[in-house]
Amino acid sequence: MQNSDVEGTIFPANFSIVAGDKLIDLSTPLVMGIVNVTPDSFYSGSRSESVNEILTRVNDMLNSGASILDIGGYSSRPDATDISVKEEISRIQPAIAAISKEFPDAILSIDTFKSEVAKIAIEEGAQIINDISGFGIDPKIADVAGQYQVPYILMHMRGTPQNMQKNVEYDNLFSDISNYFSEKIKILESKGVKDIILDPGFGFSKTIDQNYELLDNLEHFRFLERPILVGLSRKSMIYKKLGITAEESLNGTIALNKIALSKGAKVLRVHDAKEATELIVR
């Protein structure tokens, strides 16, 4: 086996997805680099607004080993300010157009829960939809994924970024999230979506203790037979636990990502591509 320490035998090794004209092999885990085109993301080091800043960050991400770039124009941190579809499009459209022109081989994901934003992003060159709401806020985004035949990252969240932390009561955390995934997968498949990646949604509608419970049980999602993405990078479950800031939480991020890989994660969504890439034995 290629990665005896990291891969184990928890998840099947033959996962792959098709993004645009590219077959993405997930037998070895991949790094998704976060490119925020927002002024208010929780981690200041990830904020980019000018096209030149965005292209510089993308170049650094690609050179550091990122296989996918996740472009987001809406801050989804708790209590984030809501913005209009028009404003979100005005942020992501020039960014994706510039990245697609400068880096034509890059695989781009659009981080949005709005169908209109997803549609524009795909037409500009994005090949994956990353929806934090699991089409719970805008159900039409699932239709967009089916229409354009793009992979869909299905994340678990309750409510909206503005109220999600008021929705943290579960009968059984793992069972409730598993049922959520099972029901959503059936709907996506009915709409013709072939490639679905699951994201348990660390930090979304969960307490700090629930986040760690979820990480501890990550391997049990194997029964769903879908690749797992984890987004742990510099989140409050790390820095609040350690009594530090997001800017100081790289070491904690590396430690938790190592655990996630040992439990079968196939995609690491991160702010720091180099450090994440070095975790993955190729």
Q: Which residues are catalytic?
A: 235, 269
The residues, ordered by sequence, that sit 6+ positions from 84 with a Cβ below 8 Å of its Cβ are none
CA proximity to 268, closest of 162, 101, 279? 279
14 φ, ψ to 5°? Answer: -105, 25
Give dist(CA 73, CA 41) in Å, integer: 9
Secondary structure (3-state) at 216: helix
Secondary structure (3-state) at 153: strand
Give dist(CA 264, CA 159) in Å, integer: 28
Partnered with residue 23 across adjacent β-strands are 18
CA proximity to 105, closest of 14, 15, 21? 21
CA proximity to 30, closest of 64, 81, 74, 73? 64
Secondary structure (3-state) at 137: coil
**Parallel, antiparallel or unpaired: strands 22-25 and 16-19:** antiparallel
